[in-house]
Structure 1
Amino acid sequence: MGKYYPQFQKLSRLFNKNIGSVLKKDIFAYDLKNFTLMVKSTKKKIRMEFEIKASPSMLFNYISSPSGLSQWFCNDVDIYNNFYKFKWDGDENIAELLKKTPLKGVKFRWKDTHPDEFFEFEIQQDELTDDVALVVTDYVEPIDEKNAILLWENQVHELRTLLGG
């Protein structure tokens, strides 16, 4: 959600003290108090496609439900409203569910990440062959790209094993 810079807090105080009292209006100071500076994401978008030998309905259960996700993506998942708490070996991260389309996919954003960043599991089915693919989209630091791809390949391998192929 961007970074808040302390300089703006100082600027807001100065504005209130010197100019705000002259204007007798709080609108400008209020805007400055709530001003945040958005910094462009430095992460790189990666998109990987994996052939999956399963029906879209079976795959959707594994990418969208706590019981499904906890079998291949993490150790455990708790849900509260649209927030998913993913747990791995003593570590946990919270993600907001941005979109859930039955039999098509899910899209999440990690807490405290840039608004443009997300991770997504999308189900695609070829109209002619009925082949099913899982498309994973994620944002990673450029220096970590190779490791992130290897991690996703390992995670999806776990998923394929569960699905029998």
Structure 2
Amino acid sequence: METSIPPPKRLKMLDATIKRHQYQQDALIEILHRASELFGYLELDLLLYIAHSLKLPPSRVYGVATFYHLFSLAPKGVHNCVVCIGTACYVKGAQVILTCLEKSIQIRAGETTPDGQISLTTARCLGACGIAPAVVFDGTVLGHQNPELVSERIQGWLQNGTN
């Protein structure tokens, strides 16, 4: 998130992106991506602003924002853990990994720890089926994961603060 830029300036930058795409409704994903880059997450007021700007129903904008796992409707943590729950990963134990993570850091998928350190999300498929089960740690995909390996990585984050 570009925290050094004040919100009004970020909104002007988003407006420039919308204008560059000529207010085209089919540019929604690109515009949501830019909004996410500028603000860090897509809060409801921002989704409504985009819907109004593109003359789209808010339900469509919300639907697109919630469909793609790269978009977040809440502030993300310092660290991000994404557990793939696609078929190959699920069959090889992704649900067990996810359940163990939820218990160990006491949040559910889609949430961030109260201290803002860790966000836990799921993805329908990472396209890394050959190394299932796969987990993404701060943008790095690791395969052949198990609850112990994942827990070890998460505990490292917790112990080191900003590992």
Identify the structure with bigger relative contact order (alpha carbons < 8 Å, sequence gap 6+). 1
TM-score (norm 1): 0.29
Q: Which one has the largest radius of gyration?
A: 1
Q: Which has the higher helix share?
A: 2
TM-score (norm 2): 0.29
